[in-house]
Amino acid sequence: MANQAKFGETTFSVGDQIKVHQKIIEGKKERTTVFEGIVIGIRGRGENKSFTVRRIGVANVGIERIWPISSPWLQKIEVKKKGQVRRAKLYYLRDRVGKRAVRIKEKTGKKKPKTTKITKKK
């Protein structure tokens, strides 16, 4: 089970909000489209690694796309926000509607301080 993936210099993980720049060729014309959403799963290893990105489209319809990391159509991946999640796959977001479907805790660099247990002497 993969929780992180690396594309060029960019490392992203499950729960991150990313922008995927994809090259599209229509006839002789070439253009780039951007798909922005939350990484809900990463699977495979090595050349077979792929990732799934989900976003909420028009009329609150969920749109998911799956890309292989080694795809020649991927131009670049930008990480907009790092997410802090406790699951390897975020399939539960499929059942959510509206703002709850895209809300994920933002990762901060702070760690909780260690607490020591104080016992009273009798």
- pLDDT tens, 20-71? 999 999 999 999 999 999 999 999 998 899 999 999 988 888 899 999 999 9
Over residues 67-92, the mean pLDDT reads: 92
The 10 Å Cβ neighbour count of residue 93 is 20
**When comparing pLDDT for 41 and 109, which is higher?**
41
**pLDDT at position 3, please?**
86
> Higher confidence at residue 99 or residue 6?
6
Q: How confident is the model at residue 104 (pLDDT cuts 50, 70, 90)?
A: confident
Res. 112 pLDDT band, cuts 50 70 90:
low
- Is residue 114 situated within a structural domain? no
Is 60 within the bounds of a domain? yes
Is residue 122 in some structural domain? no
Q: How many Cβ atoms sit within 10 Å of the Cβ of residue 77?
A: 24
Domain-embedded: residue 116: no
Predicted confidence (pLDDT) at residue 97 exceeds the cutoff of 90? no
Q: How far apart are CA 90 and CA 101, in angstroms?
A: 10
pLDDT at 110: 67
- The amino acid present at 22, given as its one-letter code, is Q
- Alpha-carbon distance of 84 to 16, in angstroms, equals 8
Query: How far from 115 is each of 41, 112, 118, CA to CA, in Å?
Result: 34, 9, 9
In a domain, 77, yes or no: yes
Asked if the structure places residue 69 within a domain, the reply is: yes
What is the share, in percent, of the chain residues with pLDDT greater than 70? 90
Domain containing 85 equals: 4-96
Beta bridge partner(s), residue 6: 11
CATH for 30:
2.30.30.790
Query: What radius of gyration do the chain's Cα atoms show?
Result: 19
Distance of CA 119 to the CA centre of its chain: 44
Specify the number of domains making up the chain.
Answer: 1
